Amino acid sequence: MASERILALSFVRKDRDKSLHIMRILSCLLLFLSLHVICGSAQAAPRAYLTAVARAWATDPVRNELIVNEQSAEARASAAKSWFAGGPELSGTYLDDHFIGSNVGYTSYQGSLSVPLWLPGQGTATRKVAEADAATAEARLDVEHMSIAVRVLDATGAVLIARKQAAIAHASENALAQIVALTREGVTHGEFPSTDLEAATSELAQARTDYALAQEQISVTEAAFAQLTGDSQVPDIESWDEITGSVSLRRTTQEIEQRDPRTQAVLRNVVAAQEGMKLARRSYMPNPKIGIDVMKQGQYQSPWDTQVGFHASITLPSDVQNAPIMTEAANRMAAATREEVMTRRTIRNEIAQVRARVIASRNTLDNARNALDSLKKRAADMKRAWQLSEQPLIETLRAQQAAWEAERAMNKAEIGWHASLIRMIIACNDLPGGLK
């Protein structure tokens, strides 16, 4: 009997261990699936914003202009690989003495074919200038893409704030309608004075006006967003947080400055100006021309009726031609240098502003949340006190308006906080997929 009992207990213990093992496996699977769902939902909103940026980028007219500029510069660079500095020149001459009344029979046909030659190093310098212009246009594409990302962010924030403000206006309208109903009933039974009903009615009318204006603001901001992106679907940016922008928040000012597309654009513009100076030095005189001449003479009893020759045309250097070329190149170099200095200053200033905005928006959001909690509790207490005839209605309405105003401020602060993080990510060129 004892042995059978021990055997039965062992089977029970094995079944229990097996069940616990299965439960652990199921728990791990559920945890994995839940994490997968959470991560997927957390990444959906960033993808939605990036999709909106991509749509705006695809329809941006400045992008098309810069693409044409880049292609044009590449075409010039390819053309500069030619053996000659320009196209061939063909000329012909016809001479006849019959036009002056002579009948001797002097007639001449002359034709020439000439081509311009590159000056030493001029062809290579021309090609490098075109390649530098193409690189500058490509860098400006990244600058424009960055600008588009900021504009989409601003448009998105405007729509989200307008929608939140409309929701608050609608909620305040409903709440004031309830207060008006309670006040009207109280006035009927002699519990409240008629002045309370007048005050509540005026507040309700103002709330309805605010809601109508909020609806108008939604239409305006949504139209601007659709015009920019070509789509009416507004992304949610409230999932972008410190974790999403952790890499950007740790970057130094120097690192952000070097990663900014505007820095690369002005540096490439300086390189293009330097190549332009080299080309100007190589173009110290007009391009010489060489060619061949063929002449056929129909003269009376002439044994030499055909001649073939060679000709060259060289225009000597002159300050009249060289000075404008050199000064124009020097002006472009000076402008490129100035633009680099000013752009770097602008970028550093923006970095400081974006960093300060991130910190300020975080503090503003925390303070707005605390203020909203306190004002909501105060409004609720004041409403209960009014219903018990312990406080006048006007004070209750003021408390309620203060709570709604705090909620509006909190919504703006919340959108501003997330927008400041995304702006920091854009400034650091850390958007998923980059600004290409």
- Looking at residue 187, which CATH number applies to its domain? 1.20.1600.10
| Dihedral sign from CA coordinates of 58, 64, 68, 70 | negative
What domain count does the chain have? 1
Is 434 domain-assigned? no
Q: List, in sequence order, every residue forming a beta bridge with 116; answer none if it has no partner.
A: 289
**pLDDT tens-digit map of 358-415:** 999 999 999 999 999 999 999 888 888 888 888 888 888 888 899 999 999 999 999 9
- Six-digit token string for 79: 């053309």
Residue-wise pLDDT tens digits, 144-194: 999 999 999 999 999 999 999 999 999 999 988 988 888 888 888 877 788
- Residue 100, pLDDT score: 62
- Specify the pLDDT at position 86: 86
- In a domain, residue 359? The reply is yes
On whether residue 432 sits in a domain, the answer given is: no
Nearest to 177 by CA among 200, 150, 158: 200
In a domain? residue 363: yes
> Does pLDDT of 242 surpass 80?
no
pLDDT band at 237 (very low <50, low <70, confident <90, very high): confident
CA separation for the pair 184, 205 (Å, rounded): 15
The pTM (predicted TM-score) of the whole model is 0.79
Is residue 2 predicted with pLDDT exceeding 50?
A: no
Mean pLDDT of 257-264: 92
Give the length of the chain.
436
Separation of alpha carbons 121 and 88, rounded Å: 20
Structural domain includes residue 2: no
Q: How confident is the model at residue 85 (pLDDT cuts 50, 70, 90)?
A: confident
Picking from 304, 261, 236, 6, the residue whose alpha carbon sits closest to that of residue 141 is 261
Is 318 inside a domain boundary?
A: no
What's the mean pLDDT when you consider all of the chain? 83
278 lies in which domain range? 46-83+120-284+343-427
Residue 303 domain flag: no
Judging by beta carbons within 10 Å of its beta carbon (0-12, 13-18, 19+), is residue 7 exposed, middle or buried?
exposed
Which whole number is the average pLDDT over 424-436? 77
Average pLDDT over residues 271-281: 94
User: What is the band of 33 on the pLDDT scale with cuts at 50, 70, 90?
Assistant: very low
103 pLDDT band, cuts 50/70/90, is low
With respect to residue 239, please indicate whether it lies within any of the assigned structural domains.
yes
